[in-house]
Chains A and B, each alone.
Chain A
Amino acid sequence: MSASRRPSFLGRTAITGVGYTPLSRDSGVSVQTLAVNACRAALDDCGLAPQDIDGIVPYSLLNDSVYGQAVAAGLGSPELHYAVDLSLGGQAPCAAVAMAAMAVDAGVARNVLVFRALNGRSGMRIGSTAYESLTSQFRYPIGFTAYPQYIAMWARRFMVETGFSYRDLGHVVSVQREYAALNERAMQRKQLSVDDYLDSPLIVDPFRKADCTIEADGACALVVTSIEEARTHKQPAAVIQGSAWTTPKGSGLDHSDLFSWPDWSKNCHHYLRERLWQSARATRNDIDFAEIYDCFSIVVPMTLEGLGVCATGGAGEFISSGETRLNGSLPVNTHGGLLSEGYLHGINTVTEAVLQIQGRGGVRQVKKNDCCLVTSAAMMDGSALILTKDG
């Protein structure tokens, strides 16, 4: 079980193309259409044709997407040698990239599409949908039915443990809105001062509406390949240098089983921290910017502390003093995060990292872009990546 041997796919695989559909509140098209359009855009982006693809890894919750084979059909049916449909939510994006990279490195597939597609606003809304699980019987009857409530419970404990304040939450939101102003894709580009944030009503204390992501219709895709193959693609390689997944002890019976998790002030990143940095042969000081999964504002400081980017209790000061802004020491969530860009379930957190590594951040391009931390997860289980420039 030792993590000392570096997984073989690291340093030898990369992400090249990325593709998006518009993000909207009502796409008016099917999920398959969204998925195929995003995947086609990712192929066009790096100069590949559909027949160059031989692997597809989608992820979905509650059957809200389409299978990889449906995208293959929409692309004109290339034969797939690797097709894995993951029934996972926000834990998945970094892990799906890692699975694709492992398939490439093992020689099973050459170019693998990873995508997330959903009509998450006009169709099934994950934020408020009650769905049966092994532990839902202990939550729903008492009026504990939705993700904003579950994460609010963790937020409260994090605030108790670390001193993170309501005002600090406002800073997370406000800084990300500054980035959103620089991102044409973002669904919420209105600036929000910390004072105006604090004046807005609580929806589930300690959260306000602005602490929650924006449910969206849309799709986003990326292409994973070997480093050699990547060098023949139209876009520069974002090299996969570090990767870790964890389902720690106490993860319980399902995605929302909070009962067995010992410390609600620490999410899974506290547990994968050592393996992640070790896998990349890197430390916190090596990263130039970070793209942190943020279905809710609190996940940003919790993850930064969990991974040791900030000391325990240090994220509030770090964020409120401006260190995560574009001109700060560690820009974070440069697309405005899921809070502002919209909830494509964290795949758009990964693609933003890729665009920045490739120097395609436009008006929001970070100054130094050699090395990036990317995360996927809010609560018990999850994944993370370290990406770097090629060479």
Chain B
Amino acid sequence: MSQVSVGAPRVHPNLDTAWWWQALAHGELLIPACRACSRRFFPPQAFCPHCGSQDWHGAATQARGKIYSWIVTYRAFAPEFADEVPYAIVAVDLDEGLRLIGRYFGDFTALRDAMPVHAKIYRSHDDVLLGFEAEN
């Protein structure tokens, strides 16, 4: 087997994303927001993918949104997660108009399209990660 190792599942930031991970580690979910075209984008990168501008900043968010899609993993595809199955991963459309992906904390059998959720920042394998839980 010639598996390409990336040391999964740890976070490996790069020069364009390190600031985002640092903010998350401090409990803050920031979103790149373009000053030239007023749109938001993700993942963080040097250029706004909507207009090409480099004039953007990390904007705060309400960290609330609605379920866009979800899966439930029953069989671990990477050995690091063998103890965690079954687990759900959700795609969430933030109220600010952006799609993010994270673990879902709660009863995954209750997941439905457009279900309201909010971000839950959590610690796993010594990394600080973005997840979601149901809005009450």
Chain A interface residues toward B at CB < 8 A: 62, 123-125, 127-132, 134-146, 148-149, 152-154, 156-157, 160, 201-206, 252-253, 257-260, 264
Contacts and interface: CB of A to CB of B under 8 A. Distances in A.
Contact of B74 (A62, A129, A136, A201): A201
Nearest to A119: B2
A259 B101 contact: yes
A134 B14 contact: yes
B73 interface: yes
Contact of A153 (B9, B69, B81, B84): B69
Given A135-B43, A259-B100, A260-B49, A142 B129 contact: yes
Nearest to B4: A131
Interface string B1-18: 111111011111110010
A160 B103 contact: no
Contact of B75 (A62, A135, A204, A264): A204
Contact of A124 (B4, B41, B70): B4
Nearest to B49: A260
Contacts of A125: 1
Given A132-B4, A132-B12, A156-B69, A138 B101 contact: yes
A203 B74 contact: yes
Contacts of A132: 4, 6, 12
A204 to B, nearest CB: 5
Contacts of B78: 128, 130, 140, 143, 145-146
Nearest to A205: B72
A141 B124 contact: yes
Given A136-B6, A140-B6, A259-B42, 5 more contacts: A141-B10, A141-B125, A142-B124, A143-B81, A258-B99
A205 B4 contact: no
A138 B44 CA distance: 10
A360 to B, nearest CB: 36
A135 B81 CA distance: 19
A333 to B, nearest CB: 24
26 contacts: A124-B4, A127-B77, A128-B78, A130-B3, A134-B14, A137-B11, A137-B14, A140-B6, A141-B129, A142-B89, A143-B73, A143-B81, A143-B87, A145-B8, A145-B78, A146-B77, A148-B77, A153-B69, A156-B69, A160-B113, A202-B72, A204-B71, A204-B72, A253-B43, A257-B43, A260-B49
Contact of A145 (B4, B77, B91, B127): B77
A198 to B, nearest CB: 15
Lowest 3 CB-CB distances: which A-B pairs, in order? A146-B77, A205-B72, A157-B69
B9 A143 contact: yes
A68 to B, nearest CB: 21
Contacts of A130: 3-6, 8, 78
Interface in B30-81: 41-43, 45, 49, 68-78, 80-81
Interface string B107-128: 0000001000000000011010
B101 A157 contact: no
A149 B129 contact: no
Contacts of B103: 142-143
Nearest to A132: B6
A148 B91 CA distance: 15
Contacts of A259: 42-43, 99-101
Residue among A142, A204, A257 with the highest chain B CB neighbour number at 10 A = A142
B90 to A, nearest CB: 9
B69 A160 contact: yes
Contacts of B69: 153-154, 156-157, 160, 264
Nearest to B89: A144
Residue among B14, B17, B71 with the highest chain A CB neighbour number at 10 A = B71
A258 B101 contact: yes
Contacts of B74: 201-205
Contacts of B41: 260
Contacts of A128: 77-78
A124 B101 CA distance: 27
Contact of A137 (B4, B12, B80, B99): B12
Nearest to A206: B71
A124 B2 CA distance: 5
